[in-house]
Structure 1
Amino acid sequence: MTQPIETDLVIVGAGMVGLTLAALLADSGLKIRILESREIEPQQALAWELSQREKGYDPRVSALTVASQQVLSVAGVWGKIQQMRLMPYRAMDVWDGEGTGQIRFDCTELHEPCLGHIVENRVTQAALTQQIAEQNNVEFSTGVEIVEMTEADADSQRVLTLNNGEQCRVRCVVAADGALSSTRRLAGIGMWEWDYGHHAIVTTVTTDKPNRATCWQRFTDDGPLAFLPLPEDGLSSIVWSTSPDHAKALMALDETEFCQALEQAFESRLGKVLHADQRFVFPLRQRHARQYVKAGFAAIGDAAHTIHPLAGQGVNLGLMDAAALAETLLDSLEKGVQWNSEFQLRHFQRARQSENLQMAATMEGFKQLFNSTEPLARLLRNSGMNLMNRFSPVKNHLVQQAMGLSGNLPRLARRPIKD
């Protein structure tokens, strides 16, 4: 019988979070292998992402924080993103569509150049793919899935059986294969999950007023509607979270009717909505893994948790996971301890699980607060927003945490202190 191929670290999933982890560990001395179920090869993937970029904007974008920018800089990727396409946003306007509450965050109040960057997911993906293709110790296997995974042995190692019949002995497996992670299920880790009762519609729209490098978010009883600025002044990426029935009705509209409905829902803040690209819709569920680690196993990103997109924190949380896991592994390697043991991997779990649960609870609280039609709840949320808008210390503290300038951040996500 053929002996299993030996490797140190297998990362399952070549999305943004999995590739970021690989890039952060590229100089660790670990032998790394990425498994991706898609058939496309890395260089073909890069060429495809770049060709799609030329055809228009990706409807899937992320509001990357300063902390995420730092992680991607350490991974050697941020410069590549800058050479492609990104949009720094300088302000954020949030208001209660059913009341008078509003709050504005502005980078000038923090003496920062911007609050963050809107980056198309395919641009980040292309930059990461290019970075990984330049590494010698990272093997990229495509069209490959794990069909069996043994329990960890005394050395915390596992044997993987792949769909091509190959067997691989691995010191640590990292699940980065999304919310429906088959790798997490093979590891025997369950999830807490529930339906938000929302579907999200995403697309790119053209308005007759400029986006003013501002993120806009209107809260309604049905859910939040966000306009995120793109590099061309009249373009924005939208995320419209609403009830499943309303989303179905909106998806059935023709382009003109949809633009009119969108303009009305957004209170014409950017004037007329002139055009909408193809629309996509997906259901929103909150999920959280009951544990992130076992011996020789860790789950990161959507494989460990998903939250409502109303604050745009999903990808940022995943990148913080990648940074925290990379730190845990690098620190263990430096100390010469068994880096793949459950005891060592629990350092990563302790660093991230409470942070992710706290963010999930905050998003659920926001959703419940703005979904309430009770007069007292409306009065409290409107009064609270207006009071916070006038009280700069509290407002600035809140936005600094959202930007990743403060709080319990992984070391690799902290911006260097200037001399």
Structure 2
Amino acid sequence: MTNNKDKKVLNVPNLRFPEFTGEWKKERLDEIAELSKGIGISKEQLSSNGNPCILYGELYTKYKSEIISEVISKTNIEKNKLKHSKQNDVIIPCSGETAVDIAVARCVPFDNVLLGGDLNIIRLHKYDGAFMAYQLNSKRKIEIAKLAQGVSVVHLYGENLKSINTYNPSLQEQQKIVRLLSLLDERIATQNKIIEDLKKLKSAICEKLFSSPKDKQPQIRLYGFFGDWHFVRLSDICHRICRKNTGEQCKQVLTIAAQYGLVSQEEFFNKNVASENLSGYYLLQKGDFAYNKSYSGDYVWGTVKRLDNYEQGVLSPLYICFRPDPARVDSDFLIYYFESKKWHKTVANIAGEGARNHGLLNISVVDYFNTIHCIPSMDEQKQIAQIIGTLLSKIAREQRMLNCYAAQRQYLLRQMFI
């Protein structure tokens, strides 16, 4: 790579393949492409077979990289009056929730894909569509976002896109840039798949290595351990925390995020939504647990998390807080147990039918601590926790690698385009 960052040369990127020289051309989008619009296809008109098609909303949900490698949706509606793609087309949504969201460009490397309504179609005369998609998604993204109109729903019209200035090298240089970035995108996709599979493996292991009260022992038993697990009430193995934030000694307000655990409310929401008076909040120390009775689609019986990221923090009294007794239960075993679904039935039994109020499960503290759970000996607990902990460490390493690839991608997009 040639680094042009410190050179006084106009219209060349900071980072460039050494075999290419000369300035890039500044060209309006309507000078290098024909702009048009797709023709309506609704979600209800999708089918399991038929002609491949793309709906505008799929650019947000299904097609995450600049080059569409496979068209997922199909439709059986009459295709003669619809808009057909031409290999190398670039598509951008006409509608979206925010101006930044709408500035999403994808290259369609296939002929005869049906392009639905609310899609802007950019048909380039001679340039590489994938290169243009990368450019529009990076250096031109803010410019495109500024053209969007509307409040609750924003719109982006082809007439507005015509005025966008693009910077373009020779076709050969475009294609070499695309080869590099697409290889990196493929590696990122592979890395995402590795992490996804590891998370599925972890979930499956949790379901196999833990036991619900009705089963008495798990489906898979570690070598060297025999006999039924024993039943305990939550109050037998954990102590309730009622410690209040007297004198407001702690200002770190916590919230439970299902994916991230107990996190800073200010960091998670970018603001504090807690009461101004924190003296009535529970004061948690590192290693304490909290049960959030709030339910959602993925967490129908609420969620339990442990305070791992801070030495202490305060939590709303709406949560049920407790600390494991280290003589009775291993803390890591317990948090992994609560990440399984094996405790759901025992909570469902005390919640009762229709016991939901304003997004919260109607569960009393007394009933919650009387829930029955099934646990093994301390030695078996520790071995189970070690297995799951090792897998989580592997997931964390793979995630760090993914973050490095993503950072490398962002660097190249900033440096290889004007």
- TM surpasses 0.5: no
- The structure whose RCO (Cα within 8 Å, separation 6+) is larger is 1
- TM-score normalised by L of structure 2: 0.22
- TM-score normalised by L of structure 1: 0.22
The structure with the largest alpha-carbon Rg is 2
Report which of the two has the higher share of helix: 1
Report which of the two has the higher share of strand: 1
